[in-house]
């Protein structure tokens, strides 16, 4: 991996880097900070070493890698990603301010998360960086605190977890659609073809 741009003006609690990842096998070593990786390219097929499966990452998909955790993947094509690093001290301060349940919740590794709030905050931070705004440090701190609040709230049931079809399921559904273009299709029928329905 190599960085195209790493701004130095943000405070240590929040940093942002833009990475261009070449095709091949990559290892994410342990880091002292939490990493929020937002996929910034078109669909990219990759293999996750942690779960032993292929996935297709799309623009806006989010991977969370907590401090002290490592990861690895293999990608078939090059892609771009935005990495936001949050220091654990920031998370601890925000959790203390929130109090209650937030203080006890650890941050878990997550892959292919779809969360509009995190995407919006990442875009706001990226936009501010691109504008070379004089409010950079204050703005970055505010965005970092908002990201910390959102990450601490991910254990709540309101987070939409994305369950995608496997490659084999997707192939069956596409073949069924192509073979039956002259027939009406329903979600229930496609779910049965994919094996994603209990009915």
Per-residue pLDDT of 48-82, as tens digits, reads 877 788 888 999 999 999 999 988 889 999 999 99
pTM reported for the whole predicted model? 0.69
CA distances from 157 to 100, 105, 154, 160, 179 (A): 17, 14, 8, 8, 38
Residue 37 and residue 18: Cα distance in Å, rounded?
Answer: 10
Residue 87: DSSP 8-state: -
The C-alpha atoms of residue 151 and residue 172 are separated, in whole angstroms, by 36
Indicate if the alpha-carbon torsion angle 142, 98, 37, 164 is positive or negative: negative
Domain ranges of the chain: 2-152, 165-199
Nearest to 46 by CA among 58, 36, 38, 54: 54
Token pair for residue 1? 């991996």
Interval 142-197: pLDDT, tens: 888 899 989 988 765 444 444 556 667 766 766 766 676 666 666 666 667 767 65
Class of domain 2-152: mainly beta
Q: Dig out the tokens for 52 from the structure.
A: 């032993």
């Amino acid at each position: 991996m190599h960085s195209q741009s790493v701004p130095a003006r943000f405070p240590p609690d929040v940093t942002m880097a833009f990475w261009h990842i070449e095709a091949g096998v990559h290892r994410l070593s342990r880091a002292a900070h939490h990493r929020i990786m937002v996929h910034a390219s078109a669909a990219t097929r990759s293999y996750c070493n942690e779960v032993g499966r292929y996935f297709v990452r799309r623009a806006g998909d989010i991977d969370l890698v907590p401090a002290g955790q490592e990861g690895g993947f293999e990608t078939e094509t090059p892609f771009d990603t935005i990495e936001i690093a949050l220091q654990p001290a920031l998370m601890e301060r925000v959790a203390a301010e929130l109090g209650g349940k937030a203080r006890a919740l650890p941050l878990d590794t997550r892959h292919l998360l779809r969360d509009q709030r995190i995407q919006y905050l990442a875009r706001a931070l990226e936009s501010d960086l691109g504008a070379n705004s004089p409010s950079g440090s204050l703005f970055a701190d505010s965005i970092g605190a908002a990201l910390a609040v959102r990450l601490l709230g991910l254990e709540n049931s309101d987070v939409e977890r994305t369950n995608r079809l496997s490659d084999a399921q997707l192939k069956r559904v596409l073949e069924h659609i192509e073979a039956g273009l002259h027939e009406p299709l329903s979600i229930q029928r496609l779910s049965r073809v994919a094996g994603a329905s209990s009915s």
